[in-house]
Structure formats: C-alpha cells, structure tokens
Amino acid sequence: MQPSQEQSQNTKASDLLAQIANSAEGETISIGEFVSLLGERSFALAILIFSLPNSLPVPGIPGFSTITGLPILFIALQLVAGKHKIWLPKSVSEKTFSNAFLKKVVTKAMPVVQWLERFLHPRFGFVCGPIGERVIGLLIATMAFILVLPIVGGNFLPGASISLLALALLESDGIFACFSMAFCLLSLWFMYSIVVWALKLLIAWAASLF
C-alpha cells in the first residue's frame, strides 16, 4: 500500500520502512517501481532506504554502493533544486534489486531506527526548512558521489551520514539535523585524511624504489 503524503507526515520512519518492505511484491523490483511506492513525500524516505545497505553490517554485493548511490545522488540534487517529485533517468530507474534483500535490510535497520526515534521529534523546524533542506541535500549529494566511487571499504561513513540526515528530514528534527551535519563533515574530514595518508605512503614507497 502506497503511503499518502498525510500518512507519511504523521507516521514514524520505522513504520514507513515496514510498510514499504511489505508492499514490495515479486522476486525483484526496479528502482523506478520502488520509488513509485513511496508516494508524494518520498525524497527523505527514498534516500534513507537507498542508504541503509551501506550503513549496516549486511554482506555487500560488488557494485551495490554504485547502484544505490546513483539514485541518492539524483534525488539529493533534486532536493537542492526544490523539486517536489522524484525523477530518475531511465538507465537508473530500470536497475533492479531483490525484494528479499530489501526486506533483509529493513529488518536489520529496524532496531537502530526505532532506537534513534526515541530521541527524534519535530523541533527547530527552520533547520529542516526550505534553505536547510537544500544544505542537507547538498551534503547528501556529496556523500552519494563518494558512494558511487569504487572505494573498497569506503561505504560505511557516507552511508551512515546519509541515513542520519534522511532521518532528520523525515522527523523534522532540527537538533538531530545539526548533529547529523556535523557527523557528515567529520566523516568527510576523516576520509580525506585517510586518502592523504595513503597517498603519502604510496609516494614514499615509490620513492624508495629509485
């Protein structure tokens, strides 16, 4: 059953996740079909669901971070542009994934999401307002771009950052949004530091050969 806009606004993220997982039928579902299940208020929910596989201890599928990162990137850019309906290019919307995998991800995520919901409620709404939403969308797009890149072991921090930001938007929690943005920026700094450290090691190793 597709959640309406009013239902989405009054329903907890964990309940929305369960509704979406239970509404998926058949062995596989395309990204386009999946997005159509999410209803009008689908941006934050779609971003959350696509980011969860990268932020949970679920066995990875080669290239899956790219498959999930691309729709997040397109959706986040539309969030920045202030769009009200998700559009995905045909090459992305036609990609499919297993309904069993979707349900497995939701099952794994549910305890974490429900635990976080104890601390989430609408407050400081201006942070998640039109301007704040665009800032959050830009951060999500940045992290989604990193997800798309073939970086071994580089999925967790971007995935977790995106999931936290999407939860903040879903619950209209400005304080949690500020925390999530800080976590996102710290994650960017950490990943940058690791890349710089690895490059220095590589250069030092190459120099030692000559």
Determine contact, residues 152/170, Cβ cutoff 8 Å. Answer: no
The per-residue pLDDT of the chain, averaged, comes to 80
pLDDT tens digits, one per residue of 104-161: 777 777 887 888 888 888 888 888 888 888 999 999 999 999 888 877 666 888 889 9
pLDDT over 50 at 82, yes or no: yes
Predicted model pTM:
0.79
* Residue 171, pLDDT score: 84
